[in-house]
Structure 1
Amino acid sequence: MLLYNNQFLPVQDLKLPIHNRAFQYNDGFFETVMVVDGNLRFWRDHQARMREAAEALQLAIPDCFWSGELEENLLYLARQHNSFKIGRLKLKVWRSGGGLYTPQTNEIEWLATAEPTQAIPEAGLTIGICQGVRTCYSSLSHFKGPHAPLYVLAGIEKRNKGFDDMLLLDAQGHLAELISSNLFWLNDKGDLYTPALETGCVNGILRRNILRWSQQQGIAVREVLAKPEELLQAEAVFAANVTGIRGIEYLDENSLKVNSEWLQSFKNGLVLSVG
């Protein structure tokens, strides 16, 4: 079962036309939403990012996205896929109608799917610096979808080189993000750093929550332009997305400080704050 334009359908009944603008022009965006213990985790932040994406792409989002109706239907979908305890929902939104580059409408179509998932592994990551592609800041870079081929190519490089993930840089060589996670590091004064949005990184949902929670806790948080060498001096380096937080143990052949005790304490505090 899937949810298409707020209607539940068997998978085999989904029929999309060849002029579908998601297929033709990647004219839309998507959100990955975690279901945890029967709740859509960070749902208000997902709604906020969808508003931002819709404004950037000039899409008219229906009222059901902002009422409790969509939330209720997504949870029902998760339950049908054994994803109510812990699961992953993908919500894909695209512009309706045909046309060439100039669209015929700003109305949308949308599709939601659900699948069960597992808790994020505890093991630290071994990552490499991506050589094939660079991030680029634009009005579209802060949400998911328009720049997807960049992350696909980074994923191919990851697979070919045998890394767990790849560290993407911007055109000037500044730290930006990982393939599907934001990057954070801690200095010896207890200050937290993350790449600025000007690097072209996605404005991730957990990134927003980490920045908000850290400021509430009195932890200095700095959004910066920084080079990879700074990670070698950090007290802890970690990746963060809606599935959770993972420490980074190696960058190419360089060992990074893990600081497992601090990272676990940080994760525990964040989890308690968001439920």
Structure 2
Amino acid sequence: MMNFNGELLNSEDLNLSSENRAFKYGDAIFETVKVMHKKVVFWEDHYFRLMASMRMLRMKIPLEFTLEFLEQEILKTVASCEDTNTYRVRLNVFRKDGGLYTPKTNKIDYTIEAHTSSYQTKKAYSLDVFKDFYNFSGLLSTVKTNNRMLNTLASIFADENDVDNCILLNEKKGVVEVTNGNIFIVKGNVIKTPALTEGCIKGITRNKVIEILSKNKDFTLEETSISPFEVQKADEVFITNAIIGVQPVTSYKKKTFTTELGAKIAGNLKVLQITGV
């Protein structure tokens, strides 16, 4: 089932016009959230990121778009799906039809779609670097817009080269993120992740992992610029997103990594997902 502006529809009954701005201009943003045991994981963080993104993109936020309203709309959509414990939910917000580059209105429509999720982390997980195109290191790159062409091309590259994921670079040839999440590298007792100024998405799981690491006195966390060479020299690498949580990386080019810290953080994150604290 699909939720369109609060109405539940069969997916095949959803009719979007040829003037849909998400389709024509990528004039849309989205949140991918995980629902476990009828609970939207880290929902407050997702909600405030969505509100900040809508304000930044000059979308008119409806009065009913409260934290509680959207949470209930997500759970209503999930309840219409096959009964299981874990769901992947996409909340898409886009400007109403009309206009060319200049929209006729800043008012919005939204869709919510939910699918059962049984994703498990992989024991063997490989990375390469995608160099064909760059991710610009501007503030707009930190927002989850529907313009994911770079991620799509990098994912095709990964598939063609038999690796699990690809590192995206910015115009300064610094590491930004991977196709579907943020990246952390470990060297000795220093853990680095690209700063938001490098152009990476303001990942919710990224922030949770930073919170976990900030409480561990054995490591120093740096949000900074990272070169692909540093990735190759790292002891450990892991990636994060809302659905997988933490995925340890086992290889990058000819380098192999340990996974001990990534596995430990994944366990800590699961506790946060369940308890919410």
**2:261 partner letter:** W
- Give the equivalent residue in structure 2 for 1:272: 271
- TM, length-normalised to structure 2: 0.92
Question: Higher mean Cα deviation, 167-176 or 218-227?
Answer: 218-227
Matched residues in 1 for 2:153 and 2:83: separation? 30
- Residue deviations 1:25-63 (CA, integer Å, cap 9, x gap): 111111111111211111111112111210121001223
What is the distance in 2 between the residues matched to 1:66 and 1:137? 31
- Map Cα deviations across residues 47-101 of structure 1 (whole Å, 9 max, x no partner): 1211121012100122333231221121121122126511101111100130111
Whether contact under 8 Å (1:206, 1:242) holds in the other structure is yes
Letter in 1 for 2:159: R
TM-superposed CA distance for 1:13, in Å, is 2.5
Partner of 1:155: 155
CA 1:272–1:139 in 2, change beyond 3 Å: closer, same or farther?
Answer: same
Change in CA separation of 1:177 and 1:67 when aligned onto 2, cut-off 3 Å: closer
Q: 1:247 corresponds to which residue? A: 248
* Separation (CA, whole Å) in 1 of partners of 2:172 and 2:96: 37
Q: Distance in 2 between matches of 1:73 and 1:55?
A: 21
Instruction: Give the structure 1 partner of residue 80 of structure 2.
Output: 80
TM-score computed with the length of structure 1 as normaliser? 0.93
Where in structure 2 are the equivalents of 1:19-168 lying within 5 Å?
19-82=19-82, 84-168=84-168
- Given residue 107 of structure 2, which amino acid in structure 1 is its aligned partner? E
Q: Which runs of 5+ in 1 are unaligned?
A: none
**Distance across 2 between alignment mates of 1:38 and 1:267:** 21
C-alpha contact (below 8 Å) 1:28/1:57 kept by paired residues: no
Q: How far apart, CA to CA, are the structure 2 residues paired with 1:208 and 1:193? A: 13
Report the CA distance shift for 1:172/1:83 in structure 2 as closer, same or farther (over 3 A).
farther
Q: Evaluate the alpha carbon distance shift between residue 40 and residue 158 of structure 1 in structure 2; reply closer, same or farther with a 3 A threshold.
A: same
* Matches for 1:1-20 after TM superposition, within 5 Å: 1-20=1-20
Amino acid at match of 2:54: A
Q: Are the counterparts in 1 of residues 183 and 193 from structure 2 also a CA contact under 8 Å? A: yes
How many residue pairs end up in the alignment? 272
Partner of 2:207: 208
Range moving further from structure 2, 82-91 or 147-156: 82-91
| SS of alignment partner, residue 31 of structure 2 | strand
Q: CA deviation at 1:255?
A: 1.9
The RMSD of aligned alpha carbons is 1.7
Please give the per-residue CA displacement for 1:124-157, whole angstroms capped at 9, x wherever unaligned.
3111110212111223211212531111111121
Question: Cα offset for 1:263?
Answer: 2.4
SS of the residue aligned with 1:141? helix
Distance 1:88 1:31 in 2: 10
Q: CA deviation at 1:268?
A: 1.5
Moved over 3 A (4+): 216-219
Q: Matched residues in 1 for 2:235 and 2:140: separation?
A: 33
- In the alignment, the residues of structure 1 paired with residue 106 and residue 216 of structure 2 have an alpha-carbon distance, to the nearest angstrom, of 42
- How far apart are the structure 2 equivalents of 1:121 and 1:198? 29
The alpha carbon displacement at 1:6 in A equals 1.4
Q: Deviations over 1:145-181 (max 9, x none)?
A: 2531111111121122121111111111111111001
Output the amino acid matched with 2:246.
I
CA distance change for structure 1 residues 88 and 161 in 2, over 3 Å: closer, same or farther? same
The structural deviation recorded for 1:3 is 0.6
Code of the aligned partner of 1:38: K
CA distance 1:214–1:113, shift in 2 (3 Å)? same
Q: Report the Cα distance in structure 1 between the residues aligned to 2:122 and 2:32, rounded to whole angstroms.
A: 21
